[in-house]
Chain A
Amino acid sequence: MIKRFKNLSIGQSIFIITTTIVGFIMLLSLVLTNNLIFSRTDALIEDTSKEINKQVVLNYENYLSNVIEISNSLQKYILDMTKADQLTELDSLFKSTKNIERNIENIALFDSDGLPIALSTTEPLALNIAHKTWFTQAQNLPDIHHFSSSHFEDFIINNSTEVFTISKSVQYYKEGELYLGVLLIDIDTSNLKLIAAQTNLGDMGHIIITDQANELIYSSNTECSITLCESADIANKIVLGGSLTKFKGLSMYVNVNTIKYTRWKIATFINVDTITNSKNDSLIRMILIFLGTLIAITFSSALFSSRISRPMNKLKEHIKKIEEGDFDTMIDISGQKEVVVLADAFNSMSQRIKELMQKVLNEQVEKRKTQFIALQNQINPHFLYNTLDSIVSLSEKHRNKDVEKAIVALSKFFRMSISNEKSTVALKDEIEHVRNYLLIQQIRYQNTFEFNFEIDEAVLDNDVLKLSLQPLVENAIIHGINPDEAYTKILIKAYQKDECTIVEIYNEGYGIDQTRINEIHQMIHSEKESTSMGLKNVYQRLKLYYGDKADLFIESELDEYTKVSMIIPIKEDIAL
């Protein structure tokens, strides 16, 4: 993985780094902003709905505490009036209280058997009042006020009003004795509804009231019935406190609280869907902005990096061309200023290199030509003086036949040396040339050696350096002819091997030991001037003309022979 990153191009690096950094910062800010906004929103939802719930509970508490105050006053009047046996006054007190307090539908006092003592109504009464739940509850738990669920008024027969009943066990006097009866106050449920309606709980928001047995007392949601109410189930599950819930696909903040004085629980369902939706909306919006920015950054950084890297790549291609030796093509780059400057500099640099190379090449060629000609020229006088000396001595000995032979050979020899301007000749011509030379030398050395040629037919027309064999043969004669031995053999072989013409010159003799051979090799390879001109001259010309493949070396076996081999590559094109 790391390796892969290490091998990235500039463009890729710029692209990856820019995109990563921008993406990371964007993501970080997205998450942070989101968390901040969301936690604030959640806290806001919770606080607001708690506050609304509190307000609703307070409204109900105020309303119900008022009813309890009335009940408490009534209880005192009941004691006072029954003590004074003013039962009709108690009736009218009940009636006037009912008239003053418009929510109160009816007030009634029953004895422990459910028989009426005082009433605010003249309607006919229902039977079996003592079996009504509100009645038995009040008797079972005399300390507190009992609040029934909402129902049609049930202590009278013509029941048309929906009420909830507050019942309380109360003391009253009958003939000077204290008895326990039950006070009933029926409250019109309209006020419960009014309080619910006055509160803005949002679309589908509603209030439900349940009693201590989790039974529904009232619901502002008309879909709720006493037996089936989703809201009541939700509220009962919460028991107490607040929770964010889904209700009919809407986000609702549900707060369950108790209402003081009663044993009721109230649950407010507040629609927070818009807030949660806007929360989601803002999240989506933020994500869209994030993605948009990321895409924009990705594109622009890709564009930017390719703008930088494209000319770089062009430059790279160009360098590769130069590496291959092409200095002729110029690069044409447009783009960043720096890259253009670089490319221009590069162009002029390769132009300059090309010029310099050409110059070096020309100089080299000139130098080689001069050197070559010089080397070629060295041979002639050297040999001429020696031969002329030999002819003179022949003539002194009056060996006219030999003089004639020698002069003919010399003339042939020189014709070839001088006539041709070319640097190379066919091997057969060079062999002819050497034969003439050997003839001359045979005369000069008075037949102290004999020579033979073993030339492969195939190499006869191969090119060899002009005047390259003669110095080698000269060497063979000088080192091969032993004054003590009467006769020496010289053998010249030529054949082809591995694209090379190989010419070997053997001479019998003492041979040369390996140390001396090494010294000679060293001498001919070195650039220094030296006395042994022949071998060195040939060697350097070979190298100059044919290059590295060409070679010249000596092999020898002591007291047997010495062999000089010349390796000449066969090549079609000639550098000079």
Chain B
Amino acid sequence: MKKIMIVLILIFTTACSPKQEQVPLFIYDMDDAYMAVFEAQIQASLTDSFLVKTYDGHNSQIIQNDDINLLFNQKAPVLIINPVDRLSVYAIIEKAKANNTKIIFFNREPLAEDMNLYDSVYYVGADAIESAQLQAQIVMELFGNDPNNLNEADQNKDGIIQAVILKGEQGHQDAEARTKYVIETLTIAGYSVEVLEVTIANFDQDQGQAAMDHLLTLYGSDIEVVISNNDAMAMGAIISLTNNGYFQDTNNDGYIDRQTERWLPVVGIDGLDVAIDKIDHGYLYGTVFNDSQNMAEAIIELADYLLNGKDLSKMEYSLSDGKYIWISYQKITKTEN
């Protein structure tokens, strides 16, 4: 009898406890290592006020649209979206407007004109241009910080930086901006840069590895630096280079000695744990830390404020232009550790 009472009380209390709001989180592709980490950070940043349910878009806007539609139909008050195709989101924004749903985009920034379609649409992200500028600074440090007198990193001593670029997805704003501004920053700083090739590897490690294989056969030792739009492709490039005679840890100490062992500077962006580990061990030259932890916290805070109708001006992460929260990047190289 007592047992039954306890069970009944449990059922009763469960039924009576306030149902926690579930905010849907749409990730463009959970196979993307960076996004997988990011998703975990968002989940870890949760306070008590609501839960987050993740939907994997499998890198297909069709699948993501389908899921988003489902949540529109369920009258979810707030959606957190990492869109597959940032150019298509105007349709989502229009639908959100019609449904009075608030949307937080992150990681892939919608066009400004689309952001202006509706008041309650927000973007949390890092400025891609900033990441490119910081990546350019790492490259500058690599080449001795003097555009007119490049150091030994300029292997053919021609005073020009021969670079290959591993580009993320075509049309991805970060990919476009990082590719464009890393070169532009270097050029503006007075460096001569010869971009041997811009290869699209879709932010993917395997594609990065394949692209590097291809680039090595094309340019071989002409390549002086590998500039990657993200760490995943940089990791792929390091695997490719390792397979092609670079980064051979001949003394088996677990570290690459840049004085004695053959290496090629690879620079990434994101600051994944694996990337930082590779920097520690001398494989990856440097990366730009995309502070996803801060970004995750900002997203959760914003979602919380939107969900509970709080005054957005009181947020810890302040809004610029009433719609954007920008999170800064940080440079990470071995010398700084």
Contacts and interface: CB of A to CB of B under 8 A. Distances in A.
Contacts of B94: 239-240
Interface string B182-211: 000000000000000110100000000000
The main secondary structure of chain B at its interface with chain A is helix
Nearest to B89: A258
Nearest to A83: B194
A241 B65 contact: yes
B87 A240 contact: no
B10 interface: no
A261 interface: yes
A299 B71 CA distance: 53
Nearest to A71: B170
A260 B111 CA distance: 14
The main secondary structure of chain A at its interface with chain B is mixed
Nearest to A76: B198
A240 B95 contact: yes
A265 B198 CA distance: 30
A29 B92 CA distance: 42
Contacts of A239: 91, 94-95, 98
Contacts of A393: none
Q: Which of B65, B91, B94, B98 has the most CB of A within 10 A?
A: B91
A421 interface: no
A54 interface: yes
Interface in B146-205: 170-171, 173, 176-177, 197-198, 200
Interface string A65-77: 1001100100010
Nearest to A65: B170
A263 interface: yes
A441 interface: no
A240 B68 contact: yes
A240 B111 contact: no
Interface residues of B, number: 29
Contacts of B200: 72
Given A258-B85, A261-B87, A265-B91, A240 B173 contact: no
Nearest to B92: A240
Nearest to B97: A239
B323 to A, nearest CB: 18
Given A240-B95, A261-B170, A261-B171, A58 B62 contact: yes
B117 to A, nearest CB: 9
B85 A143 contact: no
A212 B90 contact: yes
Contacts, number: 68
A141 B171 CA distance: 12
Interface in B63-118: 65-66, 68-69, 72-73, 84-85, 87-88, 90-92, 94-95, 98, 111, 113-114
A260 B173 contact: no
Contact of A257 (B62, B113, B171): B62
B61 interface: yes
A444 interface: no
A262 interface: yes
Contacts of A53: 62
B171 A258 contact: no
B16 to A, nearest CB: 32
Nearest to B187: A178
B123 to A, nearest CB: 15
Contacts of A536: none
A257 B65 contact: yes
A144 B171 contact: yes
Q: Which of B66, B73, B111 has the most CB of A within 10 A?
A: B66
Interface in B48-69: 61-62, 65-66, 68-69
B65 A258 contact: yes
A54 B94 CA distance: 21
A258 B170 contact: no
A143 B62 contact: no
Contact of B69 (A57, A212, A240, A263): A240
Interface string A241-270: 110000000000000111111110100000
Contacts of A69: 170
Contacts of A263: 87-88, 90
A143 B175 CA distance: 10
A36 B68 CA distance: 27
Contacts of B95: 239-241
B69 A260 contact: no
A262 B61 CA distance: 12
A98 interface: no
A145 interface: yes
A242 B62 CA distance: 12
26 contacts: A53-B62, A68-B170, A68-B171, A72-B170, A76-B197, A76-B198, A143-B177, A144-B171, A212-B114, A239-B98, A240-B68, A240-B92, A240-B94, A240-B95, A241-B72, A241-B95, A257-B61, A257-B62, A258-B61, A258-B85, A258-B88, A259-B88, A260-B61, A260-B87, A261-B87, A263-B90
Query: Which 8 pairs, one residue from A and one from B, show the smallest C-beta to C-beta distance?
Result: A258-B88, A241-B69, A239-B95, A260-B85, A240-B91, A240-B95, A212-B90, A239-B94
Given A76-B198, A144-B87, A241-B72, 5 more contacts: A72-B170, A241-B95, A261-B87, A261-B170, A261-B171
